[in-house]
Chains A and B, each alone.
Chain A
Amino acid sequence: GDSVTQMEGPVTLSEEAFLTINCTYTATGYPSLFWYVQYPGEGLQLLLKATKADDKGSNKGFEATYRKETTSFHLEKGSVQVSDSAVYFCALRGGGFKTIFGAGTRLFVKA
């Protein structure tokens, strides 16, 4: 079945460092891909998405490109801030209405 694998955390960075969180997926067909973010004490919220190969999703300085050839959707940000500290979830939605979430990667950004 469909699945999502993302890098284990926690990831600890200093402010203004470059961020990459790896995500790979297994799916039949052409799924939509997402990154959700969960801030402490809150529910998940959509950060960005891409619906077809080579699409780039972007929001709040974060970017991810849908790479069908490598089945990947890595999250990147050029300069992280303390306020980016959160848990990041990679996810996919295939043909049905279930969204498959990865295990989440916790990011700590130090001032």
Chain B
Amino acid sequence: DAGVIQSPRHEVTEMGQEVTLRCKPISGHDYLFWYRQTMMRGLELLIYFNNNVPIDDSGMPEDRFSAKMPNASFSTLKIQPSEPRDSAVYFCASSLAGADTQYFGPGTRLTVL
């Protein structure tokens, strides 16, 4: 079975550029989560969706961050404009309602120069 798929795995960009991270959840899962991981702040929940609808975006750090889920099999996290402090590993995870376990993708390592 395919797990959660994220692309790209690595992204290097310059400050001010737009960055788009992509996620394909496990088929049939109806919850999708975006996390950010840094050494300083650990693992932070940015936003999560249920049935493609954003439920809680209180963790999104600034208006520069936005996330969409146009259908059940695809989500994007966009940063515009990017800043060096956005450098982190971004994880997508999915789960099935009624189940406790989240399944994580391999992450996208973002470096903003």
Contacts and interface: CB of A to CB of B under 8 A. Distances in A.
Contacts of A51: 100
Interface string A80-105: 00000000010001000111010110
B56 interface: yes
A103 B107 CA distance: 18
B43 A49 contact: no
Which of A34, A43, A101 counts the most chain B CB atoms within 10 A? A43
Nearest to B106: A43
Interface secondary structure of B, over-half rule: strand
B104 interface: yes
Interface in B93-113: 93, 95, 97, 100-107
Contact of A43 (B42, B100, B101, B105): B105
Given A43-B93, A49-B101, A93-B100, A98 B106 contact: no
B93 A97 contact: no
Nearest to A31: B100
A5 interface: no
A59 to B, nearest CB: 12
B34 interface: no
Given A101-B43, A103-B42, A45 B50 contact: no
A69 interface: no
B100 A34 contact: yes
Which of B31, B101, B105 counts the most chain A CB atoms within 10 A? B101
Interface in A17-66: 32, 34, 41-46, 49, 51
Contacts of B104: 43-45
B45 interface: yes
Contacts of B33: 99
Given A43-B4, A43-B104, 7 more contacts: A34-B100, A42-B106, A43-B105, A43-B107, A45-B103, A51-B100, A99-B33
17 contacts: A34-B100, A42-B107, A43-B91, A43-B105, A44-B93, A44-B104, A45-B104, A46-B101, A49-B101, A93-B100, A97-B55, A97-B97, A98-B45, A99-B33, A99-B102, A101-B42, A104-B42
